[in-house]
A and B are shown apart, each in its own frame.
Chain A
Amino acid sequence: MNKLLALTIGVLLIGVLLNGSAVAEIQVSGHVGAQHRYFNQTPLYLAQESNQSSIFGQVELFWQSPDGNDSLTITPFGRKDFSDDNRSHHDLNEAYWLHIDDTTELSIGTKIIFWGVTESRHLVDIINQTDLIESLDGESKLGQPMAQLSWITDWGSVDFFVLPYFKEPVYAGAQGRLRLPLLVNQQPLYQSSDGQKHHDFALRVNYNFDDWDIGISAFKGTAREAEFLPKFTGQQVTSVIPLHRQISQISLDVQGTIDDFLWKLEAIYRHQDSISDALTMRGVLASDNYIAATGGFEYSIVGFNDSAIDLGLLFEYNYDQQPNSLFAHSAFIATRWAFNDFGSSEILAGINIDHQNNSHSAVVEASTRFGDNIKVSLEAWLFDSSQQQSPLYLLRRDDFVALELRYYF
């Protein structure tokens, strides 16, 4: 990875040297911030703390050739957490060169790519590793090294990806909340003997017509999520080891606007290469083939109650053939308030209902801007589960409120 960074910086410097005036054309932007999380319940495990403070920052450097056909983007990110050492982490979110032609685009380097349409689960979004220790909503990502070739047409686009390196997820340490009962061993196992250097491939077709946006994707390579194997010390299980299998996945995402509704669907079929039927039988490993889907709608009320507020009502249903998935049978109901004020204030409040396990989680995300540069956000999560087989049971004492302040430059 350092090689890639060095290479990108090298290319950037060459660009600067070739064009003296380019120095002035490097655009620098980003943010720095501080976050405090407060967990109001007594933790389940001894070392865990109830107050978690951290500081973070992200810088984006952007340079573009005078004709606009070539550009370089470099975006490092870092967080220093004062409670959980594991959450102190940094990542090169982006470091890529982009070349644009009339009908093709080529990117080489590290990028973040988002696929999908639904809110409660990002099922088809598979290119990047999810940075769950960064935020629980699955929307923080680690940069993925890649070569991406895109072909742009009148009806949409076709993207082809080669992904030569796998970024391991970061797991909470002993002091951290929102974690498994056992600590995660930070040396994952890979089904492929190539380990992190397995070359993954992905293909995506985006098709837009009238009121419909459709995406069909295929992926072959290392599963981004881990399955966890018990690690024994004598008779005792002392930690869990993440295992990343080789998978093939095809997916579909559809978004249609009909009247007041925005209809959304994401669906995947995944084949995982077999490892051990015995472990699959015991539920340690997921089944080799499964489907999962998330579908629903967002209904908009513009100018709610004669105000400038846009109110969105969201309903989504999650289905997953893996029985111990958090999303095996769950419904998501939420409201989104966009106040359309000076501060672009927004509130999203939602509840996930796992009706099979009688478990619930609720989330509130609110944000507003003060002046031109300061953004304040508040996030709260509540977990309610008394069923041991529910994945939410692990988080039953981890309700928390997070307050965050960011300065943008």
Chain B
Amino acid sequence: MNTKLNSLLLALIIAPAAFAETPQERGLAIAEARKTADVGWVSSQSDSLMILRNKQGDESRRVLRNKALEVASDGDKSLTIFDSPKDIKGTAFLSFSHNNKNDQQWLYLPALKRVKKISSRNKSGPFMGSEFAYEDLSSFEIEKYKFEYLRDEPCADLTCYVLQSTPTNKYSGYSKVITWLDHHSYRVHKVEFYDRKKAHLKTLVASDFKLYQDKFWRSHKTLMTNHLTGKSTELILSNFEFDTGLSAKDFNKNSLKRAR
């Protein structure tokens, strides 16, 4: 009896709130749920094959490895190391994502033993010739966007929230980003990127999801297509490992220089 009454009272309190929720509030709630769904992975490692394709279908391949470290109260840290082509072997990219200030990104060029800083403006530029921009490689943080829920739509066998995110950082190359997230576990299935001129610039499609540690979904295949140039970049990820003992010492300018 008591329980029933409580439920009823709860429904009375929550329901009006739910109806009164603006698309912005709902968008933010979805984004927060996405973030919460992926909390607690601590650290991870994976291998990647990056396939660049031009309009004519010619291919160029790069082999790389990724290491990532979850940072509780701020954006995450990541290190990407190139193994091939051989002339850029040892080239490594260190990224510190931040919630409330500009991300910090550095690129190490082994031939010159030199660490180059990526300027804020360069973040919208292509990462090592791919269709991914430097900013696409930083971690997803709530503070970086303003959100708006647009609609629900079927995606694969599921239903997806269609969410519009507007970057708050003035250096972003995007005017808006539209993301398809499934109701089931807030996995990103598709992203449309709109450039500063509001033109549909790129689309990312993620697939081959696998669940790790009963909690963390990872896509093993991402395809980024540039609609303006007809070029695309496919990223095939493998050998995911979690909690491998990586710590902050593996993500600094010193470790960047000796990354292999």
Contact = CB atoms under 8 A, between A and B. Distances in A.
The yes or no verdict on A and B being binding partners is yes
Interface of A: 27, 29, 31, 62, 64, 71, 98, 100, 102-103, 105, 112-114, 139, 141, 150, 152, 154, 156-157, 206, 208, 210-211, 213, 255, 257-262, 298, 300, 302-303, 306, 308, 310, 340-344, 369, 372-373, 375, 406, 408-409
Interface stretch (B118-126, B176-184, B207-215): B118-126
Given A31-B87, A257-B120, A260-B120, 15 more contacts: A141-B113, A208-B104, A211-B120, A255-B117, A261-B119, A302-B122, A308-B229, A308-B231, A310-B125, A340-B129, A344-B85, A369-B87, A373-B86, A408-B89, A409-B86
Contacts of A369: 85, 87
Nearest to A27: B260
Given A29-B86, A152-B254, A157-B254, A300 B122 contact: yes
8 contacts: A29-B89, A152-B254, A210-B102, A211-B104, A260-B119, A302-B124, A343-B60, A344-B128
A339 to B, nearest CB: 8
B124 to A, nearest CB: 5
A38 to B, nearest CB: 24
A303 B125 contact: yes
B87 A114 contact: no
A369 B119 CA distance: 25
Nearest to B96: A208
B201 to A, nearest CB: 10
A258 B170 CA distance: 12
A314 to B, nearest CB: 12
Q: Which of B86, B126, B247, B258 has the most CB of A within 10 A?
A: B86
Interface in B207-260: 228-229, 231, 247-249, 252-254, 258, 260
Given A262-B117, A408-B87, A302 B125 contact: yes
A105 to B, nearest CB: 6
B129 A341 contact: yes
B35 interface: no
Interface residues of B, number: 40
Interface string B25-55: 0000000000000000000000000001010
A138 to B, nearest CB: 11
Nearest to B173: A302
Contact of A105 (B87, B254, B260): B254
B88 interface: yes
B114 to A, nearest CB: 5
Nearest to A58: B111
Contact of B113 (A113, A343, A373, A406): A113
B126 A210 contact: no
Contacts of B54: 342
Given A29-B89, A62-B260, A373-B85, A210 B119 contact: no
B58 interface: yes
Given A103-B249, A114-B114, A211 B122 contact: no
B129 to A, nearest CB: 4
A154 B248 CA distance: 9
Q: Is the interface of A mostly helix, strand, loop or mixed?
A: strand
Interface string B94-128: 00000001101000000011100111111011101
Contacts of B89: 29, 408
A322 to B, nearest CB: 26
A210 B101 contact: yes
B128 A300 contact: no
B172 to A, nearest CB: 11
Contacts, number: 109
A208 B253 contact: yes
A375 B117 contact: no
Contact of B86 (A64, A300, A408): A408
Contacts of A343: 60
B171 to A, nearest CB: 8
Nearest to B121: A260
Contacts of A306: 228
Nearest to B128: A344
B185 interface: no
A372 B125 contact: no
A300 B119 contact: yes
Given A114-B113, A341-B129, A157 B122 contact: no
Given A62-B260, A157-B253, A262 B119 contact: yes
A255 B85 CA distance: 30
A208 B98 CA distance: 14
A113 B87 CA distance: 20
B84 interface: yes
Nearest to B201: A303
A213 B117 contact: yes
Contacts of A262: 117, 119
Contacts of B253: 156-157, 206, 208
A113 B112 CA distance: 9
Given A306-B228, A310-B125, A344 B88 contact: yes
A57 to B, nearest CB: 14
A340 B60 CA distance: 12
A255 B253 CA distance: 14
A340 B86 CA distance: 17
Among A29, A156, A340, find the residue whose CB has the most chain B CB atoms closer than 10 A.
Answer: A340
Nearest to A371: B85
A308 B120 contact: no
A227 to B, nearest CB: 27
Contacts of A62: 260
A157 B248 CA distance: 13
A157 B249 CA distance: 11
B246 to A, nearest CB: 10
Contacts of A372: 61, 84-86
A157 B253 CA distance: 9
A102 B249 contact: yes
A396 to B, nearest CB: 29
